[in-house]
Structure 1
Amino acid sequence: MFPAFTCSRSSRSSFSFMILGSAGVSCHGVTTNEPTMRVELVPPATRVGFMGPSGTFTEQALLSQSDLAAADTHPFDSIPDVLNALTTGAVDLGFVPIENAIEGAVNVTQDALAFDLDLCIQREVILDVQLNLLALPGTELEDIHTVVSFPVAVAQCRAFLREHLPQAKIEAATSTAEAARQVGEQRLSGVATISNPLAAELYGLVAVAEAVEDHVGNQTRFLLLAREGVPAATGHDKTSVVVFQQANEPGSLLAILHEFAARNIDLSRLESRPTRRVLGDYCFLLDFEGHIGDEVVSDCLRDLKMKQGNIKFLGSYPAAGGEGEQVRRDSNANWREAADWVQELRDQIGR
């Protein structure tokens, strides 16, 4: 349905790949023809779980994808609930946030992918986030004595709250939409929530103030996850891996990064996380341009696996946005040119 590959893991440190069939892909050396910009669409009968209730930013991002919007969607109370439903087969796909431009990584998601679950990323979606201060119709700013919302959303509006509502009590909710639902359904006078226009529409609220986030350009990145499968290359892709250090020694991170720099592979995210084994032991989560089917990417991962040993592959998948395809083609062309040069030298052996 989705994959060009299936991936199965025999241990946390390695994956094996079985190619199911994708034009231009070879089992010997993993090569691809020039890719086309094609993203596999999700069939309408597909069950997709997301963090609810209705009106979350997660649902807003999901609805921005026409195929996901037409699928059989199911809201869950939390990110762990979505991931559990996916691993147990209650849903076919899970849709969850992974990072925000202001607050950074969503650790509950990335830790589950890195340490706890064997899931494959199918797609990324980036949503422009506008946070509004919502309340019952007729509410003025000076009427508000309590603000209830998801803690991450509150953290993104600290400056606004400090300046305009310094005396307001801040209460936590499990999501921005849940906070909006409470205010709207319980008709809570003098209580506001930080949420989005979709939640306002669903729960009968109005914007007392719009765009209350502290920084312009706020965005959140979401991942579409499956139990297995690597989508075919589109020509504008990302790959995500977790690299566990073979030894914590000077230059170990530099050695990892050198594999990417030497091949002109652009890293879009690098983050360290404690491995949960011993204090001071960290692994690295990396997102970078390219697809496992690209020669230059497969060569990079091959060397990383050989030198570091413990690599967890999280997926190669269509990247959001439109830039990067030409860079990928140039990198592959340079890699092939260098490989041909080395082969010419090797052909001279024994002459």
Structure 2
Amino acid sequence: MMDAAPASPEETYSYLGPAGTFTEAALKQVPEAAGKHWRSVNNVGEALADVTSGRSIAAMIAIENSIEGGVSATQDALATVPGLRIIGEYLVPVNFVLVAREGTTLADVHVVNAHPVAYAQSRRWLERELPDHGHIPATSNVQAAASLFEGSQADAAVAPPGITEHLDLVVLAHDIGDNPNAVTRFVLVSRSHVLTEPTGADKTSLIIELPTDEPGSLLAMLEQFSTRGVNLSLLQSRPIGDALGRYRFVVDLDGHIADERVADALLGLRRTSPNVLFLGSYPRADRQEVSYHSKYDDEIFIEARDWLRGLLSGEPD
């Protein structure tokens, strides 16, 4: 299935590889990807380039971690690569094992190879059990383990739990992550602009630039949501890059663009912001139904528009 014979773009999904990564675990949750060609790539930029060039129908990328927060490389790429839409989200529990070559014991470990994020999430365990260890950064969790066969100076590696299914390594320690509840959120990105039907348990992603750097501009943006009863599950600033003090905001909100309260909020944003990038409305991974006050029901917004239309047309009260 993965990286075998060349396949058509309609049959290809890109993901951050190699096999055994958490990104691959997220892609395994996509029913449409089962039995298709999975293309392993080295970074988010390459994954999105596959989609924009038509090499792949979609790409799975990490966008948020419950410990580290938003993945800045993904957020910046989505803000600058046009024509992309998020069509689904997937949650993967994150924990790690310490692996080494056959014959290595924990007492033999003095240098550890680990991806910087994995290292940060297992640092307390490493400092407690291996207080004198050194750290060599890796480009991915799987690459950290694979490096043990490539002449690396490391004695062990921090890797995903299923790594021994792909590499002939031994596990020196299980569950070394500092937070057993750690979860990474992944999104499936494509060029399709066909909206999914609202489910009542949806999420909408936006990237918003403020009109000016002046007092109250952020508050004005947030009021577009609060006055319509729209809850934000993510609000993170990222530098635009053209000047100091210039930021864009990555926003995830509860609801679907087809919901009247969400649509009305987007209209307000469009009137006040120089750039509102709609990244997509899609079902929540946890399938938790979005709750809100009844005064923000669709019927309330529809009735208000009908009332105004009647006033403008001179209809009797």
Q: TM-score, normalised on structure 2?
A: 0.89
**Selected match of 1:296 from 251, 254, 261:** 261
Contact 1:239 1:288 in 2 (8 A): yes
Deviation at 1:282?
1.0
**Selected match of 2:181 from 217, 230, 248:** 217
Asked if residue 257 in structure 1 is aligned to residue 257 in structure 2, the reply is no
Asked if residue 69 in structure 1 is aligned to residue 57 in structure 2, the reply is no
**Selected match of 2:270 from 286, 305, 313:** 305
| Residues 335 and 293 of structure 1, relative CA distance in 2, 3 Å threshold | closer
Aligned to 1:347: 310
How many residues were matched structurally? Answer: 306
For structure 2, the 5+ residue unaligned runs are 1-7
Deviation at 1:339?
3.8
> Alignment identity in percent?
36
Aligned-partner Cα distance in 2 for 1:250–1:45: 48
Matches within 5 A, 1:197-216: 197-216=161-180
Aligned to 1:241: 206
Aligned-partner Cα distance in 1 for 2:171–2:207: 41
CA offset digits 1:216-245 (Å, max 9, x no partner): 210101110112324322412111111111
Aligned to 1:20: none
Q: What letter corresponds to residue 347 of structure 1 in structure 2?
A: G
Q: What letter corresponds to residue 153 of structure 1 in structure 2?
A: A
Aligned-partner Cα distance in 1 for 2:112–2:34: 31
Deviation at 1:330?
4.9
Aligned to 1:13: none
| Residues 117 and 190 of structure 1, relative CA distance in 2, 3 Å threshold | same
Q: 3-state DSSP class of the match of 1:231?
A: coil
Deviation at 1:312?
0.9
Higher relative contact order at CA 8 Å, sep ≥6: structure 1 or structure 2?
1
Aligned-partner Cα distance in 1 for 2:311–2:198: 37
Aligned-partner Cα distance in 2 for 1:310–1:72: 36
Aligned-partner Cα distance in 1 for 2:269–2:111: 51
Matches within 5 A, 1:268-279: 268-279=233-244
| Residues 331 and 114 of structure 1, relative CA distance in 2, 3 Å threshold | farther
Asked if residue 166 in structure 1 is aligned to residue 131 in structure 2, the reply is yes
Aligned to 2:4: none
Asked if residue 116 in structure 1 is aligned to residue 89 in structure 2, the reply is no
Asked if residue 192 in structure 1 is aligned to residue 153 in structure 2, the reply is no
Q: What letter corresponds to residue 310 of structure 2 in structure 1?
A: D
Aligned to 1:336: 299
Contact 2:9 2:56 in 1 (8 A): no
Aligned-partner Cα distance in 2 for 1:348–1:117: 41
**Selected match of 1:266 from 215, 223, 231:** 231
> Does 262-271 or 340-349 show the bigger shift?
340-349
CA offset digits 1:88-110 (Å, max 9, x no partner): 12111111111111112211111
Q: What letter corresponds to residue 36 of structure 2 in structure 1?
A: A
Aligned to 2:25: 60
Q: 3-state DSSP class of the match of 2:268?
A: helix
Contact 2:114 2:158 in 1 (8 A): yes
Deviation at 1:279?
0.2
Aligned to 1:151: 116
| Residues 63 and 341 of structure 1, relative CA distance in 2, 3 Å threshold | closer
Aligned to 2:5: none
| Residues 344 and 105 of structure 1, relative CA distance in 2, 3 Å threshold | closer
| Residues 91 and 56 of structure 1, relative CA distance in 2, 3 Å threshold | same
> Does 124-133 or 113-122 show the bigger shift?
113-122
| Residues 68 and 112 of structure 1, relative CA distance in 2, 3 Å threshold | same
| Residues 205 and 66 of structure 1, relative CA distance in 2, 3 Å threshold | farther
Deviation at 1:302?
0.9
The CA RMSD over aligned residues, in Å, is: 2.4
Q: What letter corresponds to residue 340 of structure 1 in structure 2?
A: E
| Residues 94 and 320 of structure 1, relative CA distance in 2, 3 Å threshold | same
**Selected match of 2:282 from 317, 324, 328:** 317
Q: TM-score, normalised on structure 1?
A: 0.80
Deviation at 1:86?
1.7
